[in-house]
Amino acid sequence: MKDEKKRKPKDMDLCLEILNEEIAILEKLVLSQDMVRQAVIAREWADFEGKIDELNRQRDRFEELESERSRLFMRFLPDGESKDEDLGFYSLISRLPPEKRGTFAGSFRQVKLLILRIRLANESLLRYIEEARATVADFLDAAFPDRRGRFYTRRGKTVASDMRSMVLDRSL
């Protein structure tokens, strides 16, 4: 029992460190995501794959930290108590001294807000891409009514118009 009481404050400090590292990663994700959004809107495709790879690395690191944090939080819950993430977190911090409780709650709230911000930005970018795709499809239908949604291979075979990547030769 003594070891458990000594370990808990150390583990609680580790949980707070993990939360703070998650916040730092999420802030980097927000910046990286904004760079990707700007690149898509400006149609700057140079090093686009590198930007996506960076987003994926940050996401993977966040997921690792989140698993570790969740595992640590759940270890502190007494048997029989709810394992629901939010309920478990607030149940856990309710047992802390008031000065630590505020720090944990603020960090956890900041993580949740950054995640919400990232989700909203993702949805906004996906809507923009879908609108751009629909605009291009409408333009091609209007410009080439005889093809109306049909594309052809170099050999003249019909290909489904699932709006895969298309290269347009702009040089004249």
In DSSP terms, 49 is beta-bridged to none
pLDDT digits (tens, 9 = 90+) for 139-172: 877 777 666 656 677 787 777 655 555 566 666 5
Amino acid at site 24: A
- Which domains, from first to last, does the chain contain? 2-160 (1.20.58)
How do beta strands 150-152 and 158-160 pair? Answer: antiparallel
Amino acid at 135: T
Q: Which pLDDT tens digit goes with each residue over 20-54?
A: 999 999 999 999 999 999 988 888 888 888 889 99
pTM (2 d.p.): 0.70
User: Each residue of 86-145: pLDDT tens digit?
Assistant: 556 777 778 777 888 889 899 999 999 999 999 999 999 989 988 988 888 788 777 776
Who has greater pLDDT, 94 or 64? 64
8 vs 109 pLDDT, higher one: 109
